[in-house]
Amino acid sequence: MSAETRTGITESKAVRPYPVLMLSTAASAAGYSSAYGILGSFSRLPESALEMSVSFDEGYAGLFRDITGNYRVTASGDTAVLDRSYARAGAGAVHFGSSPVSIVPNSRGALLAPGNNIGDFTIEFWLYPLHMENGERIFSWTAYSGSSTQRVNCYSSRNRFTWSFNNFFTAGNGLAYKNIEFSGTTPIIPGKWSHHLIRFDAVTGMIEYLVDGYSEAIAYATATGRENSEVYTPVAGNSGVLLLGERFSGLMDEFKMYSAFAHRSSVQKYPSTGGRIETAAIDLGNNSSSVIRIDAAGGRTGVSASAVYNEFRENGRFRFSDDSEMNFFIRSGNNPYLLNSSRWLVFTPGELISGITGRYVQIAVDFYPSADGESSPYLDELRVVYKPGEPPLPPRNLTAVAKDGAVSLFWRHSPAENIAGYLVYYSSIRGEYFGRDAALGSSPIDAGLTNNIQINGLTNGTLYYFTVAAYDFKTGDINYHVGEFSSEVTARPLTGLAQ
């Protein structure tokens, strides 16, 4: 069953033998309309704000890339790449042990391009240290500004991360620099994912370091080191190289840089707003079809202790102990292009459904993550169980009364529901209802929703055969959904009979 529209939903091949639908950890295929995770409920950033995005999802280190194209990413072939069961988000993560990942500007428009005056910026990444030994270097930027070496480093010290900025913030003359160093206050726990974010406000000069969404340190790149003073702003040096995991043992995921100052948010893997899918219109064959129930299969999934956990079920309420859940809706109609005017009705998979009839149905599913945003529900399969619409039963007790140049027909209405009208068939040959004599036109004649009709223009002395069939809908003027014929009756118009 195809999903015609998907919002915040992605397809995953790592949960079940066949692809499933689940919440996405990325905002879009391009990745920059907005961001989930730490930036998920930040103020929406414009597309141009995403300056660099390295996801490590390619499955092989030699294929690592920056999706914005602003930077060239290089990694040795022996750099370990781990799959989704170890990754914080997406399909993979990089495992540092011996070789770093090198990133260099690939465009003059890159934030770190030589000589670029840098305004607001945000850097974020996920980290999973294995040991947290003193001196482990996670992040380093090295470039040259005149005779000075420009360095930005992030390294471990006493189970915390220290950030240092040397010859990076300048008063603008390329001579006066403001060197800054600060450390986080909360110990980083080995064997656990944590989120790290550095953001700079070029108006106030504030630099803030956040871990898991909480502020760890604030410094000011100003002449006095405090607010309300001359702001020093970054200028990228020449021949700059950014190294990730140069001397670090652990995992990294979703390294991103923005040319904007991101606002604080809670840390979640999956967005609290959830996601939604809507199927295309499903054709059940005819207008009188009725849905009996919708069967669904799915569950919830997440990562715990570097292993994927998976809770699977079929039917019932898809609401889990961690408050992740899926809610199901259905609507129906006889025209696939008018389904938007039909009201969505809530249903529980596997339970009987009443009141859903028509040729077309559409199903929607809302997905919501767990309370902590760490697990997502997933949808594996939807099956529509329905009763195909049957053609309407024929009318009963058809009788014919001959007249002068005409025949009057009478019948009792069909016992079927939702009858839209009746077609009257006639001919002068038994069983071949292709007559053309009548004033009302050729056979069959649409009598509408009535139980009698007089057919004028017939030839006196000719024996005519008649039958009537009910229809429950029609498309245009000639396409009817017609049921069985009634019993056949005969009549011979004669001169002198009453008209």
pLDDT band for position 302 (cuts 50, 70, 90): confident
Task: Give which of 329, 367, 388, 382 is closest to 2, Cα–Cα.
Answer: 382
Would 496 be classed as within a structural domain? no
> Residue 87: inside a domain, yes or no?
yes
Separation in Å, CA 482 to CA 288, 328, 389, 430: 12, 34, 12, 20
Structure token digits, residue 462: 């000719």
Q: Write the CATH number for 415.
A: 2.60.40.10
Structural domain contains residue 9: no
DSSP strand pairing (238-247 vs 137-145): antiparallel
> Are the CB atoms for 10 and 23 separated by under 8 Å?
yes
Q: Does residue 242 form part of some domain? A: yes
pLDDT at 265 over 70: no
Are both 163 and 218 inside the same structural domain? yes
More confident residue, 78 or 281: 281
Alpha carbon 408 to chain centroid distance? 61
Q: Provide the domain count of the chain.
A: 3
**Per-residue pLDDT, 257:** 93
Name the domain boundary from 333, 368, 387.
Answer: 387
Q: For a pLDDT cut of 90, what percent of the chain falls above it?
A: 65
CA 250, CA 235: separation in Å to the nearest integer? 31
Per-residue pLDDT, 38: 45
Residue 157 lies in a domain: yes
By C-alpha distance, which of 19, 12, 22, 50 is closest to 271?
22
Q: Are residues 194 and 321 in the same domain?
A: no
The pLDDT of residue 327:
97
Residue among 376, 331, 381 nearest 357 (CA): 331
According to DSSP H, which parts of 351-474 are helical?
none
Residues 358 and 485 in one domain: no
Task: Based on the fold, state whether residues 128 and 160 are members of the same structural domain.
Answer: yes
Is 404 within a domain?
yes
Which of 228, 230, 233, 206 lies closest to 217 in space, CA to CA? 206
The verdict on residue 243 lying in a domain is yes
Are residues 334 and 289 in contact, defined by beta-carbon separation less than 8 angstroms? no
What pLDDT shows up at residue 27?
37
pLDDT tens readout for residues 20-59: 999 987 433 333 333 344 444 444 555 678 899 999 999 8
Same domain, 246 and 280: no
Residue that is written with structure tokens 């245009």 in the block: 476
Q: Kindly state the tokens that stand for 78.
A: 């022996």
Domain extent for 459: 396-491
Q: What is the pLDDT averaged over residues 133-162?
A: 93
Residue 190 has pLDDT above 60, yes or no: yes
CA dihedral 302, 65, 52, 42 (to 10 degrees): -20
d(CA 216, CA 196): 10
Specify the pLDDT at position 35. 39
Quote the pTM value. Answer: 0.58
Residues 357 and 478 in one domain: no
Share in percent of the chain as helix, strand, coil (round to 5): 5, 50, 45
| Residue 391: pLDDT over 90 | no
* 319 and 214 housed in the same domain: no
Beta pairing, strands 194-200 & 206-211: antiparallel
324-352, pLDDT tens digit by residue?
Answer: 999 999 999 888 888 988 999 999 999 99
Same domain, 30 and 128: yes
Residue 8 lies in a domain: no
pLDDT at 77: 76
At 470-497, the pLDDT tens digits run: 988 776 677 787 888 999 999 999 999 9
Query: How far does Cα 463 stand from its chain's mean position?
Result: 66
Q: Does 356 share its domain with 485? A: no
Tell me the pLDDT band of 267, cut-offs 50, 70 and 90. low
Last residue in a domain, options 258, 286, 311: 258
Residue that wins the pLDDT comparison between 177 and 264: 177
What digits encode the pLDDT tens for the residues 402-458?
A: 999 999 999 999 988 778 899 999 999 998 999 999 999 999 999 999 999 999 999
Mean pLDDT of 150-161: 94
Q: Report the percent of the chain where pLDDT is more than 70.
A: 91
Query: Among residues 258, 286, 317, which one ends one of the domains?
Result: 258
Residues 344 and 478 in one domain: no
Residue recorded with tokens 């389904």: 339
Q: Are residues 403 and 431 in the same domain?
A: yes
Question: pLDDT class for 293, splitting at 50, 70, 90?
Answer: very high
Same domain, 281 and 248: no
pLDDT at 2: 61
C-alpha distances (whole Å) from 344 to each of 7, 229, 278, 340, 362 are 17, 58, 11, 9, 9
- Average pLDDT for 86-92: 85
Structure letter (DSSP) for residue 126? E
User: What is the mean predicted confidence (pLDDT) over 389-404?
Assistant: 91
Query: Is the Cβ–Cβ distance between 27 and 15 less than 8 Å?
Result: no
So what's the pLDDT on residue 308? 65
DSSP-based three-state secondary structure for 341: helix
Q: Quick count: other Cβ atoms within 10 Å of Cβ 479?
A: 10
Lowest mean pLDDT: which of 94-103, 236-245, 342-351, 477-486? 477-486
Q: What is the mean pLDDT of the chain?
A: 88
Give SS3 for 48: helix
